[in-house]
A and B are shown apart, each in its own frame.
Chain A
């Protein structure tokens, strides 16, 4: 969904750029709480994974493809603030190195593909986990739902920007219908990739999934008790 140069007029591009800068500023401050010696490398690897997965366009309808956006995935794996930064770094590198996504549209792309996907995706994920039982299946299911909704949300955000500052005179209602329609399909692909990836990490290292930290604690207690034969006291000097 990388917006090229020329789709949006200067005022909307500049405004979206300001939103992107503000969003990244908030994310930089918030990411400090999410990142430590162990999660910082994980976040770098997550950004690299999002970049790699974005290269894999999958067919969604005749003559149309889609690819992962990755906002929901990154937010669930490494936290929402860091997730915004992960996708933003990917978009920046794509625009600068690969000529993918216009330079003047970078603010639009960060707003639509990093901020909106993380806000909507991670918000959905947290809401669902609040009402669902604290199990791995719930985390996987919530990841699916978060991802599936994040993509049409992103399409709606683009359409709204286009309604305000689009450069071509087009029927905006038809654009909205077409954008949401195709991005619901792409959202299903996004959801499959997100749920499989989150489930895979949960299977081998559940402690590394930021969005699953609620269900880590009981697991730790259960495994620590029989081993230590008493209160689990870290004996590290």
Chain B
């Protein structure tokens, strides 16, 4: 939620709203060019859906509602889960590929501020393709959007959810130790990690991998090279090969420059099974988008459907420094003497029919009018004037006015 108070003018949030619409528009168009179709999930959902699906959201974070019959509902806390459930229900044996995108609010009470309970997400879900080429295609889409947004330097970090899970399988840790270990890896806290390892009795080659994982960050080719030098177990080797394949496929899209591998990347959503990624923009401290492959989420709904997706955090994106918005200027305003009321309305309709924005304002209220106006039309009792930033022209008929404006437009 944004509100702006402009000089001389209380503008609740029209600028922020226009900016938001512009970003949404851009994303929608880009999603479409990659073959995605828009869908929406219900705002109210059964609470049971989220309590039965494991490894997803904290129950405390969901906003609950009770309906007339006493049933507990939640306000849409996630989008991937209900879409997956729908797809699994309709086509448990999915043979075709499905590409969906959404622009929807999710509701979570993870924040102190009530205005932050509502968070606008825009993302895609791609079902029915388990190949690395699908992963690469998704990552290329992410890169494409970040370039479209023209937000300066950005980086896409790619990791593998299975990598960390695999290491956990080689260690027998208590839940508390697992948590601590996860935090150390996420913080790339090497000093802490070494102390942690020293307390455990660990096989030397596993120990070496654990120590190196957070440091395996950077240029994909270099990271893969360095990872290969470690004595990785067969399962981890395969996962590394998947990442290598994705990165080499990405070269075809010419977007490897913005991509780094982070083998210590862990996503808080447990449903991710393979490649995971997140995107960062220079001046925003948190990931602007997160995503990954979740091949086993559909298992929980009795189907087997490979899937990959991501979501942009639109509200976070809009916290970027607001630039002077070109839309903030009113295109045409007509100020009229009461005797010219009819002509004013005629002029307004004439331009509106052509899709231009016109506002009407009686001359006596001109002091209450504060927007910037590109073409200012003043209908006085005695004469009619057209004023722009540079000149003032007198006109007699509506036809003449239209010609003048067209001429000025072409000049601009």
Q: Tell me, yes or no, whether A binds B.
A: no
- The interface of chain A, by Cβ under 8 A from chain B, is none
- The interface of chain B, by Cβ under 8 A from chain A, is none
